[in-house]
């Protein structure tokens, strides 16, 4: 029997973090790290954000769980607040993760398709989660191995190839599901003509356009939702990751008629919409508003982009707001990540030549400067 009581699902780094504040993390020896990862686009309002901590503590003393057989104030408030971020549309289903939020979206589309329309068109390279249906929606065949047969009805077309989607659509198609920016694949933005074309296709076929905003949402691109700066409205979109700054929550938000497709018994979750996570999420959304973090994200994102472009060893920089990737001239990304960790910078590689930058939105310019200085030095060593 192996001595590790944890299942072998992640290649974990050798560091355990014990504390964090803003965009800074500390290990057990008190060593400081600048965090350019935010727990993979999660801790957007900063580690151990005091406003979120206070909201969690207050709510935990008040009421923690009653089941979805009853309503609670935090859940109702959060649904209203999320609706305000869209400009007034959307009914919300709360769950506990991004995968579950996407499961909800897929079930909504299938129910709306009345058994006749069941297929989902998704993108090659897209990522939607690890449950069986969201794994089937994920366009990365290497992740399917060992788990087949997967649920049927999912097909994957080249991202940004409108014609391929158009050709794949038929009378059995229930939905189109895409990320506005493919995060796990290395921050690949959808083109505007592609998204507008998908919108038109969905309208023509009377099916929902679903955006997976699990990684792009909650201000990461400088607007509440990536679709807002793109100007292409989905019928359904999903959120998770940054919504409660690290507490487990997911949300599927649907405009009419899809928001009213479920009836009691169709879908559910024991923990979804629990008072504590909803109180945390409300504190996150309030914090983003009060601190003007959307506008700051645009500014700091540009600053980061500029700094990255100046580095030798960086071929190109892509992305929006504080969701960026640097494509390297050499396949040294994983080496760069481990060397930088030793230098006190937390970063992540999505492939051997792509570094991904999704820091807390509260990161300061001086932290960006320090981290980029260290990255530059490491890149110089690794690319020679
Ligand atoms: C775009 C996207 N969708 C869905 C997921 C799955 O979210 P979770 O890990 O919370 O299930 C992720 C996670 O990385 C993601 O980036």
Q: Each residue's pLDDT tens digit in the chain (384 positions)?
A: 788 999 999 998 889 999 999 999 999 999 999 999 999 999 999 999 999 999 999 999 999 999 999 999 999 999 999 999 999 999 999 999 999 999 999 999 999 999 899 999 999 999 999 999 999 999 999 999 999 999 999 999 999 999 999 999 999 999 999 999 999 999 999 999 999 999 999 999 999 999 999 999 999 999 999 999 999 999 999 999 999 999 999 999 999 999 999 999 999 999 999 999 999 999 999 999 999 999 999 999 999 999 999 999 999 999 999 999 999 999 999 999 999 999 999 999 999 999 999 999 999 999 999 999 999 999 999 966
CA 242 to CA 214: how far, in whole Å?
8
Torsion-angle region of 239 (φ positive above 0: left; ψ -120 to 50: alpha; else: beta): beta
Domain ranges for the chain, please list them: 17-48+293-382, 50-290
Measure the CA–CA gap between 277 and 179, rounded to whole angstroms: 24
Do the domains 50-290 and 17-48+293-382 match in fold?
no
Query: Atom 7 of ligand 1 has which residue's CA nearest to it?
Result: 98
Model pTM score: 0.98
What is the second-level CATH architecture of the domain 50-290? 3-Layer(aba) Sandwich (3.40)
Distance from Cα 237 to the centre of ligand 1, integer Å: 13
Interval between CA 22 and ligand 1 midpoint (Å): 23
Ligand 1 centroid–CA 296 distance in Å is 25
Who lines ligand 1 at CB under 6 A? 97-99, 102, 127-129, 179, 183-184, 212, 214-215, 240
The answer to whether the CB of 350 falls within 8 A of the CB of 325 is: yes
Q: Give pLDDT, residue 14.
A: 87
Contacts of residue 200, Cβ cutoff 8 Å, sequence gap at least 6: none
Gap between the Cα atoms of 47 and 50, Å rounded: 9
Kindly give the number of the ligand 1 atom that is closest to the alpha carbon of 241: 10
Residue 220 confidence (pLDDT): 98
Residues forming the active site: 127, 212, 241
Is residue 74 within 8 Å of 278, Cβ to Cβ? Answer: yes
Torsions phi, psi of 156, nearest 5?
Answer: -125, 125
Quick one: CATH architecture of 17-48+293-382? Alpha-Beta Complex (3.90)
């Amino acid at each position: 029997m192996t001595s590790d009581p944890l299942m072998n699902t992640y290649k974990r780094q050798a560091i355990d973090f014990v504390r964090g504040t803003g965009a800074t993390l500390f290990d057990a020896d008190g060593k400081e790290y600048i965090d350019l990862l935010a727990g993979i686009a999660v801790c957007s309002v900063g580690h151990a954000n005091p406003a979120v901590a206070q909201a969690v503590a207050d709510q935990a003393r008040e009421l923690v769980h009653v089941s979805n057989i009853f309503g609670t104030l935090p859940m109702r408030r959060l649904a209203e607040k999320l609706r305000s971020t869209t400009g007034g549309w959307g009914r919300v289903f709360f769950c506990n993760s991004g995968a579950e939020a996407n499961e909800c979206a897929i079930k909504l589309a299938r129910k709306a398709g009345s058994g006749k329309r069941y297929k989902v068109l998704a993108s090659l390279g897209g990522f939607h989660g690890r449950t069986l249906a969201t794994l089937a929606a994920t366009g990365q065949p290497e992740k399917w191995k060992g788990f087949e047969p997967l649920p049927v009805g999912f097909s994957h077309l080249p991202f940004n190839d409108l014609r391929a989607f158009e050709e794949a659509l038929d009378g059995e198609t229930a939905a189109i599901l895409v990320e506005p920016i493919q995060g796990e694949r290395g921050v690949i933005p959808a083109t505007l003509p592609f998204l507008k074309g998908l919108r038109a296709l969905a309208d023509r076929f009377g099916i929902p356009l679903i955006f997976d905003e699990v990684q792009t949402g909650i201000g990461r691109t400088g607007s509440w939702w990536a679709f807002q700066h793109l100007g292409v409205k989905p019928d359904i979109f999903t959120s998770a990751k940054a919504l409660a700054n690290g507490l487990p929550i997911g949300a599927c938000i649907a405009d009419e008629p899809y928001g009213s497709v479920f009836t009691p018994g169709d879908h559910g979750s024991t923990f979804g919409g629990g008072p504590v996570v909803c109180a945390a999420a409300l504190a996150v959304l309030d914090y983003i508003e009060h601190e003007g973090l959307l506008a700051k994200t645009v500014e700091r994102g540009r600053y980061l982009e500029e700094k990255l472009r100046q580095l030798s060893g960086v071929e190109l920089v892509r992305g929006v707001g504080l969701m960026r990737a640097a494509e390297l001239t050499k396949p040294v990304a994983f080496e760069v990540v481990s060397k930088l960790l030793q230098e006190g910078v937390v970063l992540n590689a999505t492939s051997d030549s792509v570094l991904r930058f999704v820091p807390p939105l509260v990161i300061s310019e001086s932290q960006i400067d320090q981290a980029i200085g260290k990255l530059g030095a490491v890149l110089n060593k690794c690319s020679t």
